[in-house]
Amino acid sequence: MKIVLIGAGNLATNLGKALLAAGHDIVQVFSRTVESATALAQIAGGAPVTDIEQVRADADLYIVSVKDSVLGELLPRLCKGKETKIFLHTAGSMDMNVFEGMAIHYGVFYPMQTFSKSKEVNFSEIPCFIEANDDYAHTVIADMAHELSGRVYELSSADRKYLHLAAVFACNFVNHCYAISEKILADHGVPFDVMLPLIDETAKKVHELSPKEAQTGPAVRFDENVIRMQAALLKDQPQIKDIYERLSLGIHRFSKK
Amino acid sequence: MKIVLIGAGNLATNLGKALLAAGHDIVQVFSRTVESATALAQIAGGAPVTDIEQVRADADLYIVSVKDSVLGELLPRLCKGKETKIFLHTAGSMDMNVFEGMAIHYGVFYPMQTFSKSKEVNFSEIPCFIEANDDYAHTVIADMAHELSGRVYELSSADRKYLHLAAVFACNFVNHCYAISEKILADHGVPFDVMLPLIDETAKKVHELSPKEAQTGPAVRFDENVIRMQAALLKDQPQIKDIYERLSLGIHRFSKK
């Protein structure tokens, strides 16, 4: 397929590589900045373009991977003159119907993973959630999804919103806990890599036990001496102290359910 | 060495197995409940005992792994009549000097890992933090630590408190985020195992990138539409909504530092 990538961020970069490896022809890469468009075009192929009006109309598929908040402004200008083509976006929280009235065939391809430009991922293991508004779009999107990943699921826009929310907890909030941990260690001269075996085991554990069964530490033991003392260590960092207290209470409450 | 284990919880169970595998002789296992004492004695060896006065005085080493809040009441009764023996505890947040005035030779052996009775761990990869009050205790504790683990570090009680706090963020709070994620998925009929590739990649990523560099998602992009919409999905679960908002704000603040 001839594909145009709209957006050149972390997800678009990793998806572009995977599409190229699957034998597709990336004909253009759009980004608001010439640097980003050029960087991804050099990796995935195609011509960089920064003016949405310059996006060519003869591709088969347009894949939109941009910040959700700019979609509303971008889509009418993108779809214009390409109404019979297939459009999809890759956002967890955006409804499929964002394309309604602008295109005939459209859908969603949401690869649930944390992507960074500098970190290679194995796309074939990523759970991908697809949705389409008609059979034609569905066939094209499902075929592409199965080429890229061994784990393809159908999911409605309504349920995908909750999936994305669950992913924010399991990934972004987890990573923020790592970041706070790193900061506390750095403040006391301890390198972050001493924490990696614990981080790995915590992730590995929930392959075998449910997170509720896997929980350990002062909050689930309700070891109030330790909880009070640890909160006091954070007295000069009230926002982190606040997170400490709310998560400790949350663990205690979950354990009693 | 002849060793008595005081406590038969998650840490004591995993440590007892590792000590047995290293060729030590577990001669007694104390727990307040006969079930726990017997269960660990069957795994690690030795006689179960539930009365602290019945702990024999002829062992070389007494390893205390109990909830921090019961240590104060337990230690005087444990140490009495065994003043020349070596005592150590395994708690991240407890000062070494909790033994002061009760024993002559004492210290700390803190294996920084999340232990569950039902989940096997490879002890040799666990970072272990040791401290001792004199050379004699240090030699015994360091020798034992090096037998059990390839990653042994010296750390003072003062710094170990912060290490333990950092571990609570990197493990217990991370696991609570997994638990919330599982709950959101379960409420929408999605099995938790779709989340495992994302969980694994999130953990793997911080081996290569710092958590700050590794961060992705709506909060670090400051995608306010998505943040507002996701918070609204949690309107019937105010405690989880509160955690969502505070962690999103925390990510945004960290990213600007």
Per-residue pLDDT tens for B125-173?
Answer: 999 999 999 999 999 999 999 999 999 999 999 999 999 999 999 999 9
Q: Are residues B14 and B117 in the same domain?
A: yes
Chain B residues inside the 8 Å CB shell of A215: 172, 175-176, 179
- Banded model confidence at residue A119, pLDDT cuts 50, 70, 90: confident
Q: Are residues B16 and B60 in the same domain?
A: yes
Q: Are residues B99 and B217 in the same domain?
A: no
* Chain B nearest C-alpha distance from A58 (Å): 31
Select from B155, B183, B208 the last residue of a domain: B155
Choose the mutation target among B154, B159, B201 for the interface with A, i.e. most A CBs under 10 Å. B201
Select from B155, B171, B204 the last residue of a domain: B155
User: Which pLDDT value is given to residue A193?
Assistant: 95
pLDDT at A242 over 90: yes
* Chain A nearest C-alpha distance from B53 (Å): 25
Mean pLDDT confidence for A10-22: 96
* Low-confidence winner among A45-54, A216-225, B206-215 (lowest mean pLDDT): A216-225
Question: How does the average pLDDT of chain A come out, rounded?
Answer: 95
Number of folded domains that form chain B: 2
Q: Which CATH number characterizes residue B71's domain?
A: 3.40.50.720
Mean pLDDT confidence for B207-213: 95
User: Which pLDDT value is given to residue B214?
Assistant: 94
Q: Are residues B127 and B36 in the same domain?
A: yes
pLDDT at A254 over 80: yes
Select from B155, B183, B198 the last residue of a domain: B155
Three-state DSSP string of chain A: CEEEEECCCHHHHHHHHHHHHCCCEEEEEECCCHHHHHHHHHHHCCEEECCHHHCCCCCCEEEECCCHHHHHHHHHHHHCCCCCCEEEECCCCCCHHHHECCECEEEEEEECCCCECCECCCHHHCCEEEEECCHHHHHHHHHHHHHHCCCEEECCHHHHHHHHHHHHHHHHHHHHHHHHHHHHHHHCCCCHHHHHHHHHHHHHHCCCCCHHHHCCCHHHHCCHHHHHHHHHHCCCCHHHHHHHHHHHHHHHHHHCC
Q: Are residues B222 and B137 in the same domain?
A: no
Of B161, B172, B202, the CB nearest to A114: B202
pLDDT at B230 over 90: yes
**Quick one: closest CA in B to A192, which residue?**
B210
Per-residue pLDDT reduced to its tens digit, B65-120: 998 888 889 999 999 999 999 999 999 999 999 999 999 999 999 999 999 888 88
Q: Is A173's CB within 8 Å of B168's CB?
A: no
Q: Are residues A207 and A177 in the same domain?
A: yes
Chain A residues inside the 8 Å CB shell of B249: 239
Share of residues in chain B with pLDDT > 90 (%): 91
Q: Are residues A133 and A200 in the same domain?
A: no
pLDDT at A64 over 90: yes
**Quick one: closest CA in A to B246, which residue?**
A243
pLDDT at B183 over 90: yes
- Banded model confidence at residue A163, pLDDT cuts 50, 70, 90: very high
- Banded model confidence at residue B245, pLDDT cuts 50, 70, 90: very high
Q: Are residues A136 and A49 in the same domain?
A: yes
Choose the mutation target among B69, B93, B202 for the interface with A, i.e. most A CBs under 10 Å. B202
* Chain B nearest C-alpha distance from A88 (Å): 18
Q: Is B247's CB within 8 Å of A176's CB?
A: yes
pLDDT at B257 over 80: no
Q: Are residues B25 and B136 in the same domain?
A: yes
pLDDT at A38 over 90: yes
ipTM above 0.90, yes or no: yes
The pTM of this model reads 0.92
